[in-house]
Structure 1
């Protein structure tokens, strides 16, 4: 592996555990300035204090502070976008280039592909080009791959998720983000078929903190490499303490009960 890529990967993935806690903050383009990401400097500070490995954001937000007091945090610049106002919200368009992300100081880049969407072929072509350019620059690629389109009845179906993870690997991603399939047994097959680190998405905000921690714990026990979760973290009443608990689950092997006790819940 390119030494530059190896160095950058260690800025977004814990080198001792091989796992990552990534907090996406790219929701502003998709749904607007929702609760938890209005004051980005405050949000990033809380995330840094909680011990997350990396944040993920669009290029225009980077100057608003991906750094925080005390220490730095890994930076993943997101390259693709769409909005919920569009008649085609599943069609992701490239809005940033790899070289641009490198100039911003990115440790990695990410892009979103929806398999099954009418514009799938465009997103796959974009991914092929981005992974090629990223390899040239020695910068890791995080691929968010979901099954969303007219033929997809259930995006959490293990066969759909396995296909998504495999596409991420086969098209050159260094880490792939997919939905959690709901149980460790089925998710272990996703990990086995991907052959690169697999992290779970958060999806809609979970009903309780325990539900969220259980999902993360189960995914890690199934061989997953952590999480890339936004709303369940930045909309929590105390993101810093939640991240500290997540760190214990993901990197130190704590049980859900131990993590809940640490949270005081």
Structure 2
């Protein structure tokens, strides 16, 4: 049954997936709301652009799932909420899972659920909470045939790079990705390495589990297209981008450009032209 839902995520022609994440409001950070202040408008814009999936929360999924028709993107449901992204961290950090996560996903007709696996310097308790969340949700995913996307995130020290800055060191990313696979991931969603050419190590350690690459912070158009192309050449099965799409001046054009790379193998310069055409 898990494969049946995976079939709704991965494009039937390319076998790859482009998931647009707009679940950022879950994390109580004002800066994360840029481009998704009006979530209904954001969802409609993305549905018209046609990515494979849209990542939403339990409180916002209805904006996607209430749209009529069979052609809309699949729902990836965020199942955990955390307070680890601020420039100034609170006294106590947490990563909490919603109640009955898989049952809620089923009621919302989600094709997949996603949960974090944080590695934050000096915060082993948060990693413990993440592992506990995964251990709790995995048997439910197996019971109900729901794919589990695990999101391993290695943070830089907040004192060094406050405000949700990830560490692109492959020697830190690879073991955390491997832990996610060992915990039962059906999909891995991981950050790009600082040196994009080393990303094959992440794909290798994931084995048969498909790897989708996170977009990370906002980047220039040509940079994000070039990076996406280079990552796709190393065996990744797609991307999960949020701010680089929804905060773009032309979200539909950027979606089409990224889809061309992910599904058609377009060169970055050719994909870039789709952004201007959409304008």
**Could you state the TM-score of these two structures normalised by the residue count of structure 1?**
0.90
* Equivalence for 2:274: 262
* Equivalence for 1:106: 110
Paired residues of 2:65 and 2:108 also in contact (CA < 8 A): no
- Answer yes or no: is 1:178 the counterpart of 2:190: yes
* Equivalence for 1:128: 135
Pairing 1:29-178 to 2, within 5 Å after superposition: 29-30=26-27, 31-32=29-30, 34-66=33-65, 68=67, 71-83=71-83, 84=85, 87=90, 91-96=94-99, 97-116=101-120, 117-119=123-125, 120-148=127-155, 155-178=167-190
* Equivalence for 1:240: 252
Task: Tell me the secondary structure at the aligned position of residue 217 of structure 1.
Answer: helix
In the aligned structure 2, how far is the partner of 1:231 from the partner of 1:78?
A: 16
Once the two structures are TM-superposed, the CA of residue 235 in structure 1 deviates from its matched residue by: 0.5
- Answer yes or no: is 1:18 the counterpart of 2:15: yes
Once the two structures are TM-superposed, the CA of residue 263 in structure 1 deviates from its matched residue by: 2.0
Paired residues of 2:64 and 2:75 also in contact (CA < 8 A): no
**Ranges of 4+ aligned residues in structure 1 off by more than 6 Å:** none
Task: Tell me the secondary structure at the aligned position of residue 15 of structure 1.
Answer: coil
Once the two structures are TM-superposed, the CA of residue 227 in structure 1 deviates from its matched residue by: 0.8
Task: Tell me the secondary structure at the aligned position of residue 59 of structure 1.
Answer: coil
Once the two structures are TM-superposed, the CA of residue 66 in structure 1 deviates from its matched residue by: 4.2
Q: Please list the CA deviations of residues 179-210 of structure 1 after superposition, one character each: whole Å capped at 9, or x if unmatched.
A: 1013343101110111111111111111x111
In the aligned structure 2, how far is the partner of 1:143 from the partner of 1:55?
A: 16
Once the two structures are TM-superposed, the CA of residue 212 in structure 1 deviates from its matched residue by: 0.8
Once the two structures are TM-superposed, the CA of residue 118 in structure 1 deviates from its matched residue by: 2.2
Task: Tell me the secondary structure at the aligned position of residue 235 of structure 2.
Answer: coil
Number of equivalent positions: 261
Match among 198, 204, 224 for residue 211 of structure 2: 198
Once the two structures are TM-superposed, the CA of residue 65 in structure 1 deviates from its matched residue by: 3.2
In the aligned structure 1, how far is the partner of 2:54 from the partner of 2:168?
A: 25
In the aligned structure 1, how far is the partner of 2:40 from the partner of 2:200?
A: 37
Q: Please list the CA deviations of residues 7-53 of structure 1 after superposition, one character each: whole Å capped at 9, or x if unmatched.
A: 11111111332211001111112124722112222211211222211
Once the two structures are TM-superposed, the CA of residue 69 in structure 1 deviates from its matched residue by: 6.3
In the aligned structure 2, how far is the partner of 1:256 from the partner of 1:182?
A: 19
Task: Tell me the secondary structure at the aligned position of residue 60 of structure 2.
Answer: helix
In the aligned structure 2, how far is the partner of 1:223 from the partner of 1:184?
A: 12
CA RMSD of aligned residues (A): 2.3
In the aligned structure 2, how far is the partner of 1:125 from the partner of 1:133?
A: 13
Structure 1: segments with no counterpart, 5+ residues:
none
In the aligned structure 2, how far is the partner of 1:18 from the partner of 1:241?
A: 22
In the aligned structure 1, how far is the partner of 2:93 from the partner of 2:12?
A: 34
Deviates more, 1:166-175 or 1:140-149: 140-149
* Equivalence for 1:213: 225
In the aligned structure 2, how far is the partner of 1:146 from the partner of 1:91?
A: 14
